[in-house]
Structure 1
Amino acid sequence: MAYPGIGETDRSPLLVTGLPRSGTSWVGKMLQLSGQAVYVNEPMNPHHRPGRSPGVLDAKVDYAYQYICPENEAPWLRAFRDTVRLRYHVTAELRTNRAVSDLARMGRTVAAFSRGRVKHLRALVDDPYAVLSSRWFAERLGARTVVLVREPVSWVASWERLGWTHYFHNLLEQPLLMRDYLDRFADELRAAIGSADSLAKNALLWKVTYATIAQMHRESGLLHLVRYEDLASDPVEGFRQLYDVCGLDYTDDVARKIAAATTARTEAGGAMAWTLRGGLSKTAYRPMDSRAALARSRTYLCPEAAARVEEITADSVAQLDGLVYQPAWPLRRGVTAKQFDVSRP
C-alpha cells in the first residue's frame, strides 16, 4: 500500500479503532480539531443510533465486531467507498429511519458530508466495532488505521463499572473470522457463553481482540498501534506525533485546544457529561483531565480481580510486548516519531 510522502497531499481516509472504552472517541475528536477531516461516528455499530444508518453506510451490519476480508467484502467495499468519499444516501436513510431525531441527525450529517466534499476534506471514521476489520480498512480502502490499545486491567475495570459484557456468539458465528484468526480460541469462547463471570468474559474479549490485532499487524505492517496510556499521560506531545503519522497539520491553535480539552475538570465518577460537540453521552468523549482519569482507571477493581485479568490476558500482552510499533506510513514533515511499545510502563 503506497501512501503520500513528505510534501504530497494526503486524501486517504482515517480509521480510529480499538475496543469500546479504549479512547477511540477521544482520539477521533482530538484529530477532528485539525479541521482537515469529517468525523464519521461508528457506522459499524450494530445498534441504532449511531449505527444502522444506511445514509452513512449502506450495508447491513450483522454482528458486533463484524469481520471483513476479501472473501466477503463485496457489499462492504461498495458501501465504504461511498462513506469515505463522503457520499450520503438520503433515500436509503429515509426508508429506514424517519423519526424526528433521525431526520435532524440526517440533516447535520448531509451538511457535514457536503462541506467535506466541497473542501476536499478526508473522512475520519471513529469506530470501535471495526477493530477486527482493521487490516481490511488499511489494505482495501487505503485507510491510515490507528488502533488504540488500553492496558487490560483498566479497560476491564471500565467495562465492569458500566455493567457491560460481551456475547461471544458475535464472534463464533463468523466462520471467516474463526478460520483466519480465532479458531485457536474456540473452546474458550464457547465455554464463556452463558457464564455469569463478567470479569473473565471481558478479559477474554480483550485477549482475543488484541491477539488478532497483533497477528494482523505482523502480517500486514499497516496498522499503527497507540497505547492509550501514552496519549493520556502526555496528550499534547502524544497528539503531535499522532497528527504527523495521520498526515494532519498540528498547529499552535490545535495544540492549545488539545491542552484545554485534556485538562478540563469533571466530576469524579460522573455518569454523564457534555461531549466536545454537545449532546449527552455515558461513554463518548468529554473534556477531561486525562492524567487524573488515567490515575483512577485501575482503582475500580480489587487486587485479586486485577490479578485475574492479568492472568487471562498475559499471552496477548506478551504478543504485543514482542512488537515495537512504528508509524506504518511516512511522516509528512520529516519528524521522527517515537516507537510505540504498548507494554512499557
Structure 2
Amino acid sequence: MSAVRGARPIVVTGCPRSGTTWVGSTVGAASEVFYLYEPFNDEAPHPLRVNERYQYVDPAAPADAIADVATLVDMGRLGPRVRATARAARLGTGFRAELPAHLAVHEAVRAPGRYAGARRTLFKDPLAFFAAEWLEAQYGALVVMMVRHPAGMISSYLKLEWPCEVDSLLRQPKIVKRFAPPLAAEIARYRADPDDRLGALILQWKLFAHAALVLRDLHPSWIYMSHENVCEAPVDQYRALFSHLGLMWTPRIERKVIADSTSSQVDPAQHRQHALQRDSRAVADAWRARLGADVAGRIEDEAGALWEQLSALAMGTGDIAATA
C-alpha cells in the first residue's frame, strides 16, 4: 500500500547524462510542484543516506528503507512545509543542517508562489534509477524515465572527465542478478581489463539500458522519453508530458521551454554540465563532432543494436498524450 498522502509524487530519473536536469527543471517550474534536486546524490549539500551512488532498493522494501524519504515526499503538502519553515526559524543559522528545514526555506525564498501552492513533490535524480520501483510501490510515484544514445552519454563523461561509475552497479548483487545476465561476458572482460575506460563506459550504459528494458515490461505505465526526441520537439514533448502528469501547461512554461531550447548562448562543444539554455537540436547530435571515428564506431558496434531496442521505448508525443 502506498505511504503517500495527497497528490502522487513525481520521479524524473534515467541513465546518467540523459537530460534529467532539463526535464526536471521544466517539470519543477510548474506551480503545483515542490522541486527536490538530486536528494540521492552524495555530492549534494544534504543527501539521503545511501550506501551506493546508484542504490538498488527492492520494490518490496518498507517505506522507511531509506531514512527521510517519507519526510521529503510529505514536503509536497503545505502543512509540512510551514512546520519545516517554523523549525528553521527556531534553529537559526543552523537550519541548513536539517534537510526539510533547508528545503522549505530555500523554496520560500526562491519561489514563494510555488512554496505556497505546490501540492506534490518532484524527485529529479538519475541516482534514483534503481530506487524508482520502490518509490512507486511505497509512495505511489509517477515515474518518468529518460534514455539517451550511448555515444551522447559517453561523450559527456569524457568531456567532463567524470570517472566511470560501473563499479557502483557491479557491487550490488541484486542489480547484477536482475539486469545483467546478458552482459556476463562483458562484465568478465571489464574485470580482466578495468583500465579500458571506453569499454567500461559502454558497459555502464548497457547496464542501464538492459535495466530499462526489464523495467518497461514490469511497469508499462512509466513514461519513457529520449533525450533525442525532447531535443527535436521540446514544446510538443513537454506539453504532452505535463498532460500525463496532471500538471497545468501555461504560457509561462511554454516560454521557458522555448527559451531553454532555442538559445544560441551555449556552444554545444563547450559542454557545460548543467547548462539549461541551449540549441536543443544541436545538442542532440553534438557527440558526433566531439568523438573521433574510431571511438564512435566502437560504441556503435558494441551498443548500437541495444540502442535501437531502447530508443523504441521512448514515446512519441501522440503516444504520451494518449496515455494521459
TM range (shorter): 0.7 to 0.9
1:100-131 deviations in whole A, cap 9, x for unaligned? 99569976522256776753421111101011
Q: Which amino acid aligns with 1:294?
A: A
Q: Which residue of 1 aligns with 2:259?
A: 260
Q: Which residue of 2 aligns with 1:46?
A: 42
Q: Which residue of 1 aligns with 2:50?
A: 61
- For 1:214 and 1:117, the matched residues in 2 are separated by 37
User: Aligned pair 1:229/2:215, yes or no?
Assistant: no
Q: Which residue of 2 aligns with 1:148?
A: 146
Question: Which range moves more in the overlay, 287-296 or 197-206?
Answer: 287-296
**CA distance 1:323–1:212, change in 2 (3 Å):** same
Q: Give the Å deviation of 1:151.
A: 1.2
Tell me, yes or no, if the aligned pair for 1:41 and 1:127 is still in contact at 8 Å. Answer: yes
**CA distance 1:199–1:336, change in 2 (3 Å):** same
- For 1:237 and 1:321, the matched residues in 2 are separated by 18
SS at match of 1:131: helix
**CA distance 1:186–1:44, change in 2 (3 Å):** farther
Tell me, yes or no, if the aligned pair for 1:14 and 1:145 is still in contact at 8 Å. Answer: yes
TM-score, structure 1 as length reference: 0.76
SS at match of 1:204: helix
What do you get for the CA RMSD once the two structures are aligned?
A: 3.5
TM-score, structure 2 as length reference: 0.80
- For 2:194 and 2:160, the matched residues in 1 are separated by 18
- For 2:267 and 2:301, the matched residues in 1 are separated by 29
Q: Give the Å deviation of 1:323.
A: 4.5
Q: Give the Å deviation of 1:221.
A: 1.5
Q: Which residue of 2 aligns with 1:110?
A: 104
Tell me, yes or no, if the aligned pair for 1:46 and 1:62 is still in contact at 8 Å. Answer: no
* Mapping of residues 123-142 of structure 1, within 5 Å: 123-142=121-140
Q: Give the Å deviation of 1:169.
A: 3.0
Q: Which residue of 2 aligns with 1:300?
A: 290
Q: Which residue of 1 aligns with 2:33?
A: 37
Q: Which residue of 2 aligns with 1:277?
A: none
Q: Which amino acid aligns with 1:17?
A: T
Structure 2: gaps spanning 5 or more residues: none
Q: Which residue of 1 aligns with 2:239?
A: 240
Tell me, yes or no, if the aligned pair for 2:34 and 2:115 is still in contact at 8 Å. Answer: no
- For 2:7 and 2:154, the matched residues in 1 are separated by 36
- For 2:289 and 2:256, the matched residues in 1 are separated by 29
Tell me, yes or no, if the aligned pair for 1:65 and 1:129 is still in contact at 8 Å. Answer: yes
For this pair of structures, how many residues does the alignment match?
Answer: 305
Structure 1: gaps spanning 5 or more residues: 3-9, 273-281, 339-345
